[in-house]
Structure 1
């Protein structure tokens, strides 16, 4: 079998993100706890030191994202109640995002606001949160989105105490200049470049997968890094309707590469995951399962009333991370991250 150079994680994946990605791939809907020794060995596959791995476990536990169980000198970690439903929903979103563009009725959601200069922190927070709702600034105090997200925008305004604001759903009157068109608020070229880069980086890997030249150890590392690299797109892409996208939009190409590699490497990655756990507990290793796009879709359809409502520690931590990543002030972002 020919060794291959695996793509590096594009955003410098941290141990906490790697660990939650691994458990999210192979261990949801399991009540059993995995000994810390096995988790250290899993993260060692990605070059994470034992100290770094144990620190990640402690921090995830402190944030409510892992539960801990102790028996004698053995410490083990598991997934908290209700987290599996969140993992299913988020994985389904990750795997289906980009497969098609949303429908559009031709209307825009417009948020117009005025925040005094002395309230600059409120203004910054408002901009960050509108951006997370897939709005973009057409003018300084006028933000637009092609999605029907007026209710969510109003909730943000109320939460921040911004009273001098108006939320509208409206259509553009034809005849204006291109610079005044609401779609001009969205600079899609950097995102297109990222999608093309993702596809160009992973298409050679897909060829290796199809040729059967990737073994279990590489499969586990690659599938996890692939997941980490792709996860940012559903969070940062404004998900524009097809009518508003430029020609040859590269998202579909990148999405197909992502799903094909993710699905095809599942069995091999599961094998490596089991091999590592078996060194500590063979019976526990037999419980590990991978999930591909088809099984995740079936699990998602079965959630029904159990779909997450945003009140679990996992969801709160994910939202805090998104806010921190969207924060233009690095120092303020670090302070927010420490609070979570």
Structure 2
């Protein structure tokens, strides 16, 4: 992957100069490349991929050890080579994250309210937010787990109260907006690069796609996905989503060709494409066309 590293000094690739945190980036790599292709990767391939992003072998091995200790990865030794896959517990989390990235649900139109005395004793999980000692509120997304107590649906009546101010204070929307803005700043040049005359090499395309996923995943997972009426008028989530979808689709053909030659499992090179990667790409293309 030295070719990719050598091209990071100019143009769009300059945005990749800042190295990501090793554990979080390894999680991104498994979610985007490894898990949909069978889930097991040789440590040497992992080290080579991370080196392009400024993460040396020592950092990678330490991060992998910590992920194993945290129950996120499992190691298998075959001969002299070590391979790692996601643990069963981590796979469920990855499926939910993949759904948010590749097939996100429509924005909710109303809210959930929960009235319960048990809220006085425990902090509700995100995106639930406590409004008073025994009242919590959450966007009515289909993946929001209900709390124990009296559960109700609620709809904001326009003109009654400042919903924007409530949402901004309760869910810290300024921090979410900043994550989206940073994503847009780092990756806004990708579309011009993809439309340019000089094609991206497969190694560079994969590196760019991994950082695209890494940064967008960070922003999207911090987003409580509130009803649009609760968000500021200049809410950057829509622009970030459009950039992610267009850039991911544009980078995928060369990126996946590189995966099919350079990423090794116990059975040989990972598949460049399979049913799961084609499904993800189909969903994004369909979204881009709407």
| TM-score normalised to structure 2 length | 0.72
User: In the alignment, what sits opposite 2:213?
Assistant: 227
User: In the alignment, what sits opposite 2:77?
Assistant: 70
Q: Aligned equivalents of 1:251 and 1:196: distance in 2?
A: 9
Match of residue 284, structure 1, among 260, 265, 268: 268
Match of residue 24, structure 1, among 12, 25, 31: 31
Deviation of the 1:255 alpha carbon = 0.2
Are the equivalent residues in 2 in contact too, given 1:111–1:143 (CA < 8 A)? yes
Q: Structure 1: give runs of 5+ residues left out of the alignment.
A: 117-121, 156-164, 300-340
**1:261 aligned onto 2:268:** no
| TM-score normalised to structure 1 length | 0.63
Match of residue 102, structure 1, among 88, 100, 108: 108
**1:237 aligned onto 2:243:** no
- 3-state SS, counterpart of residue 258 of structure 1: helix
Are the equivalent residues in 2 in contact too, given 1:61–1:67 (CA < 8 A)? yes
User: In the alignment, what sits opposite 1:204?
Assistant: 189
Deviation of the 1:30 alpha carbon = 4.6
Deviation of the 1:208 alpha carbon = 0.9
Q: Residue deviations 1:156-182, cap 9 Å, x none?
A: xxxxxxxxx865544567875538985
Comparing both chains, which one has the higher relative contact order based on Cα–Cα distances under 8 Å and sequence gaps of 6 or more? 1
Are the equivalent residues in 2 in contact too, given 1:35–1:75 (CA < 8 A)? yes
CA RMSD of aligned residues (A): 4.1
Q: Structure 2: give runs of 5+ residues left out of the alignment.
A: 1-6, 284-290
Larger of the two Rg values belongs to structure: 1
**1:147 aligned onto 2:140:** yes
Are the equivalent residues in 2 in contact too, given 1:102–1:240 (CA < 8 A)? yes
Aligned residues: 273
Deviation of the 1:259 alpha carbon = 1.3
Deviation of the 1:142 alpha carbon = 4.3
Deviation of the 1:40 alpha carbon = 1.7
Are the equivalent residues in 1 in contact too, given 2:40–2:83 (CA < 8 A)? yes
- 3-state SS, counterpart of residue 231 of structure 1: helix
Are the equivalent residues in 1 in contact too, given 2:107–2:141 (CA < 8 A)? no
Q: Aligned equivalents of 2:190 and 2:199: distance in 1?
A: 9
User: In the alignment, what sits opposite 2:173?
Assistant: 188
Q: Structure 1 pair 247/294, CA: closer, same or farther in 2 (3 Å)?
A: farther
Q: Residue deviations 1:281-340, cap 9 Å, x none?
A: 9x72253438898622779xxxxxxxxxxxxxxxxxxxxxxxxxxxxxxxxxxxxxxxxx
Are the equivalent residues in 1 in contact too, given 2:36–2:277 (CA < 8 A)? no
Q: Aligned equivalents of 1:32 and 1:141: distance in 2?
A: 43
Q: How does 1:4-43 map to 2 (within 5 A)?
A: 4=11, 5-8=13-16, 13-28=20-35, 30-31=37-38, 33-43=40-50
Are the equivalent residues in 2 in contact too, given 1:263–1:293 (CA < 8 A)? no
Q: Residue deviations 1:83-135, cap 9 Å, x none?
A: 6676444213213448x42233xx5514465878xxxxx55xx15x2xx1x23
Q: Residue deviations 1:8-66, cap 9 Å, x none?
A: 499x6332222232232223355584332222222212222212222223333333433
Name whichever of 46-55 and 208-217 sits farther off.
208-217
Q: Aligned equivalents of 1:169 and 1:277: distance in 2?
A: 48
Q: Aligned equivalents of 2:129 and 2:92: distance in 1?
A: 31
User: In the alignment, what sits opposite 1:295?
Assistant: 279
